[in-house]
Structures are given as C-alpha cells and as structure tokens.
Amino acid sequence: MPNSVTPTHCPYCALQCGMNLTPSQDGGVTVVERPDFPVNKGALCGKGRTAPAVLAAGVRLSSPLVRSGGALVPATWEEALDRVAEGLARTRTEHGPDACGVFGGGGLTNEKAYSLGKFARIVLGTSQIDYNGRFCMSSAAAAGMKAFGLDRGLPFPLEDIPKTGCVILVGSNLAETMPPSLRYFNELKENGGTLIVVDPRRTKTAEQADLHLMPRPGTDLALALGLLHLVVAEGRVDEEYVQERTAGWEDARAAAMAHWPEYVERITGVSVPELREAVRLFCEPEHAMVLTARGPEQQAKGTDTVGAWINLCLATGRAGQPLSGYGCLTGQGNGQGGREHGQKADQLPGYRKLDDPAARRHVAEVWGVDPDSLPGPGRSAYELLDALGTDIRSLLLMGSNPVVSAPRAAHIEDRIKSLDFLAVCDVVLSETAALADVVLPVTQWAEETGTTTNLEGRVLLRRRAITPPDGVRSDLEVMHELAARLGGERGLEKGFPTDPEEVFEELRRASAGGAADYSGITYRRLAEENGVFWPCPAVPGAGDAEGVEASGESAGDGEDASLDTPDASDAPDAPDAPDAPDAETIAPAHPGTPRLFLDRFATPDGRARFVPVSYRAIAEEPDDEYPVLLTTGRVVAQYQSGAQTRRVDELNSAAPGPFVELHPRLAARLGAAEGDPVAVVSRRGRAVAPARITTGIRPDTVFMPFHWPGEGRANTLTNPALDPTSRMPEFKACAVRVEAVKP
C-alpha cells in the first residue's frame, strides 16, 4: 500500500478521535489529520499522535510466553494455547466452572467484548466475568438507569455543547484527559455561554472556567443538593416540566431542602455566595447541561452523587430537551460498548439484564444454547479480583492491568500471585502480564478491524492499516482456538469466528430489540458514514434488516419503545443503485439516534424519575492519624495504567514519573521543598514520589496521578469501599498522612 491512506480512530480515550494512517518508511504507519471526522475535526493530543510507537518491534510483544523455571520464556502458539486450555480445564474440573474467572477491558472492540462475554458463559460456563470499565462510569450508568431508564454516556452529540447556555462540569479535567474536546467548551464561551467547573484542584480545565468551585473531595453530593435547595428557595423550579415529564419530585425536593446553603458550605468548603452564583449562571439561560466524570462517580456514594446532579437537571427542566441535559464523559476508548455487549457481570448483549428471562431466551437463541445453561450474574470487578486465589482459582485476562489500576493494588497484586493459573492477552508485557503463567501477544488497533462506541453513543469502525507481526494473533483467534480445545466434541469454536465483521453480524442479532440496539448498523454503513448513534434498530424491508430478527420483548412494553428514536419514515430515502430494484420498494434504514429522550424517557410511562438522596460522608474520613485527603487522577501525557504510554519516549519525556501535588502550607509543615521525595501513607500502604507544590490544590488535600507502578503507585493507597449499587470503588477520596522522606 505505497500511497494508501487508512481512515481510523485513536486507540485511547472515549472521544475515539478520527485519524488517518499512512505508511512510513520503517514499515509502520504515521498519523496524519482526518478533518472530516466531526468529533475532533483533525485535532489530536500527544497520545494519539504517538500511538504508532507502541506498534514497534521491541516495544510490543511478538511471541507467546510461558512460565518455565520461574521465568517467562518464548513458546509456540500451539504450546501456549494448550497451556491455557489445560489450566482452565483443570480448574473447571477440580473446582467447578465458577472457579474460572474472566476479566476484560474497556479498550476491547465491541466484537471482542461480545465474544469474551459469550466465551465466559458458554465455553467456561462461569458467572465470574467483569471488566475494568466497572472502574470508569458505572455509577453514572446506575444513576442514569434509575432516572431515565437507559444509560448512554452522552444522550446528545458533543456538537450541542457550544450551543447551550451553561455547562456545569463536575470532576473532569478535560484539558488533560480529553484535550481535543476542550474546543467545545471554548466555543461555548465564545458564544456567550458560561462554564462552571467543580474540582478540588485548580486544573488546566478549571483555569478556563467562569466559576470554579473547589469542594472538599467526596462532598460533591452535598454540593449538588445545596444547589437544588437554592433552586427551590429562589423559585427557579420548572414546575410545568416537572409536572409533565417527571415523577417523584416531592420526595426529592424534601431531601434537598434538608441541605441548606450554610450547612453545605460547612461540608464542602464552597461559600454560600459561590453556591448562589452557580445557581444563577445555570438557571438564567434557556438551555444548560451538567456533565460528570470520574470525580463524583468514583466514590462509595457515586450513584447517589450523580443522581443528585440529575435531580438538579430535572428540577430545572434541563433533561430530554434540545441543547439541555445530563451526560457522563466516558473515559476508556470503548467503555460504553464494552459493557453494552456482555463483559459486565450482570449484562448480556444489547444492554440486556442477565437475570431477565426474556433477555436470556433471546440471546440463548442467537447463541444456540439452552437459556437455563447460561450462568447468572457474577461478582463486580473489585470483588472478582479480591476473590482470586480463593473462590476463583484461574483467570483469563484481556486488555487490563489491575496490578496498577485496581484500588488497594498491593493486595490485588498478592491475590493475582496466589492464583493457580493466570493467562493474559495483551499487546505489551504489562505489570500484570509479567505475573502470568502464559502471555499471549495480540493485535492492536492499527493491525485489526473492529468497532468501538464513543462517549456519544456513536458506533465507529476502526480499520486495519498494517499486517501484524508473524507471532501475533487477534483476541478473536485466541477465543476460537480455546473454544476448540475446551469444547470437547461440541464444536464450540464454530460459535467464535475470527472475522470481526462476522462477529458483528451476530452481535447485531443479539442486540436486536434491546436497549442498545445495533441491529440496523452494518460495516458498510460505518464505512460510509462518520459513525451511527445507537439505538439503531433494523427496519423491515431495508437492506440492514437482512438476517436480523428483533425479539418482541421491548417493542411496546420495554425500553426501546420509550426512546426518542426517529421513525424510519423520517429518514432520507435510500439512494438508487444502478442495478437495484425500484427504490420505492426498499425501506430506508433507520438513521440512528443522536439525541435521546426528546419526547419520552426510557421508562414504562415515559417519565424521568427523581431519586431522593441525602448527603453522607466518604467511607474513610480523615482523623488524627490520617489527617489529609488523597484524590487521584491523570496527566495529559499518560493514559490509564500507563502500560502502553509509558513505552513512548515522547510521552515519558513530558511525564516521566509520579508526583505528589500538595499545597504550600502543607509542604511548609512537612519541611518539604519542590521535588523533595514525600511519602503518602494510608491504611493500605505507602507510596513515595517527588513533591509538586502548588496553590492550585486545597490545603487539606493531596493529589497523585495513577499511571505508574512501583513505590509511586497511587493505587497502593486507594480505598476499595464500594458503592452499594454500582459497585464502584472509592478511588477519589481516602484518608492519608504525608511524611517527608529523609535522605
């Protein structure tokens, strides 16, 4: 392909920025702009620009590895696959199917996520599957399901943000986590709108805000309730909207009125005048939005916290309205699609619930199995990892690095080491892969075709641009081969094709009629369009309906019927083809659903639900022994556990290692100067990193990025206290003490 250009998408965050790949002289690829893709319009951050560096020989894995004599040594694929099959089969025989665990990743394509959920449930027969997306936006998903009856990160496209009047951005540092998205907020301000940022740090994003609220970590719930109290007290409730489109307002109102402004000021540290100004800025424009991210979500009360912000939107008529609404900024590249199609412990493809008999029947029919053979819901991500070596004896892990990313990481590392057998599929030798009995090198973004779903609910096609090295295979091939080895005489490998488009065709059938209905989406459409927003059901008589049959479970008596999905008759006519039948005999394809809830919410009666919530403290408040709060997050040059970005020289030059951000007053008490090593100690462990002294953080708070292993591993410290609904760990707030490290 000497002059070819391959349009594709970045392998990192949930923006899934469009990029073009061109061949480079060394046999790899070079990233160039792709201005036609509407999300980023050609703009890329440093991670996207340098993504091809991880494809290089010597950086990525290129041969299977097996443990021999305590070390990982190269092996053939046949030997490595046999070892994996033997390890899983032995565990299943000796301890039962639920002793086999499966842990996936939010970076896997929809095809791989779908196949992994299917593999766990019909090949291994285990209920013990979850994925690292549980650590991403599960609290927002749970709150969205309670309020709206459906979870999609953003129920509107990003292009709506500059057209609204005010955005409250809660717990998100977009300037570093999703840099290309910042232009939407700059355009918002250029159009006369206002930006309110809620963050305990003066981040690069907060510097762009018209109003920056700096609450104490873990008090976002009180802040949202205090704002709602003022909305009521100042007569700013949209009574007509509340009456016509919601239910449960009186109980939510009563709960909010117990959070008067002075009380909220004492809890959060945000002054009453700031609270009043935030309400004024949010309520005076005709349109407004609230967007949340990991700050309010990664808490042991994250579902209630997000629910309180949703209540604020509902009370002011700012949900399910043009240019208004609540949205969650999904973090991982395919965090949205990853849970829609089966990696999550309690879900089946199409966002169906695993304990719903109708859902089980539909998916079992697609899979060709008895519904009763499907296991029930299993453990959530942290609970699954915590059970390793005890109830769960073997683990198949794809695309995750919990040794760095899990809360209470030293404990999780010990649990992983205690396993009878660990197999890891990855593109690099991560800290978790280094502990495995077998490591399988798999293809990555530019070497494979597949779909992802970005934070808008826009399904996208990533295209293969280069041939992977000889010693590398795709995750789909791995599952096919393992199914052949573990399926005995049942021929299970036939249900695990290696062609991603063939997998997607089955995914379409499995999702048909579900909340996340992809049945009207095809590879051909994705190749011709800049993504298709779900839900997008197949239309009888349209070309996209071939081979797809929706179950009757949702049309008229479930989730899909209550969505604002445009009628197919509103779609433009399909273009004539030279050899096609008369166009009038062909139904137009469903156009997809960029904007949800404009007419109805996805509840049985079409009304959004207020959920009454009240403030409660974080799971671990500071005390005399641990008097400071730790919060964690990201830096612009690294991504998640850093397994890939830490292998890119340009990114390491910009962000070479961990640090502890602390206020000058705290630094003075410690006698610590800029760059001095300081220790942060929690009830779970100790981390050491250089001090970074700044007035941009609260004096009672320290911040650490979580991208690094070793003594600077932030997640050594974090608290695995779980939200009772979402099972999200409390990454964002725990009690610590800070100590100067003497030379």
Together in a domain, 98 and 162: no
CATH number at residue 154: 3.40.228.10
Residue 41 forms part of a structural domain: no
DSSP for 531-551, please give it: -EESP-PPPTTSGGGTT----
Q: Write out pLDDT tens, residues 139-192.
A: 999 999 999 999 999 999 999 999 999 999 999 999 999 999 999 999 999 999
Is the domain of 225 the same as that of 367?
Answer: no
Banded model confidence at residue 9, pLDDT cuts 50, 70, 90: very high
Question: Is residue 743 pLDDT above 80, yes or no?
Answer: no
pLDDT over 60 at 574, yes or no:
no
Is the per-residue pLDDT at 569 higher than 70? no
Residue 339: which pLDDT band, with cuts at 50, 70 and 90? Answer: confident
Q: Are residues 264 and 365 in the same domain?
A: no
What pLDDT sits at residue 563? 42
On whether both 112 and 201 belong to a single domain, the answer is: no
Show which of 478, 503, 528 is a domain's final residue.
503
- Which pLDDT score, from 0 to 100, does residue 294 have? 93
CA distance 67 to 493: 26
CB 120 within 8 A of CB 102: yes
- Of 279, 307, 328, which closes a domain? 328
The rounded mean pLDDT for the chain is: 93
Residue 35: Cβ within 10 Å count: 11
Please tell me the distance from the alpha carbon of residue 586 to that of residue 579, in angstroms, as a whole number: 13
pLDDT in tens, 654-678: 999 999 999 999 999 999 999 999 9
pTM for this structure? 0.93
323 and 226 within one domain: yes
- On whether both 302 and 376 belong to a single domain, the answer is no
Answer yes or no: is pLDDT of 116 > 60: yes
Whether residue 241 sits in one domain with residue 115 = no
586: pLDDT confidence band, cut at 50, 70 and 90? low
Average pLDDT over residues 290-295: 96
182 within 8 A of 197, measured Cβ to Cβ: no
- Note whether 152 and 180 are within 8 A (CB): no
pLDDT at 317 over 50: yes
Residue 56 forms part of a structural domain? no
Dig out the tokens for 460 from the structure.
Answer: 């996208």
| pLDDT at 296 (0 to 100) | 96
- Do 684 and 723 fall within a single domain? yes
Residue 170 shares a structural domain with residue 218: yes
Structural domain includes residue 606: no
User: Is residue 562 over pLDDT 80?
Assistant: no
Per the structure, the complete domain to which residue 659 belongs is given by: 628-740
Q: What is the pLDDT of residues 57-81, one digit of tens each?
A: 889 999 999 999 999 999 999 999 9
Which domain CATH number covers 708? 2.40.40.20
Which of 295, 328, 361 is the last residue before a domain boundary? Answer: 328
pLDDT confidence of residue 549: 61
How many separate domains does the chain show? 3
The DSSP line for 419-484 is: -SEEEEEESS--TTGGG-SEEEEB--GGGS-EEEE-TTSEEEEE---SPPPTT-B-HHHHHHHHHH
**Same domain membership, residue 371 and residue 303:** no
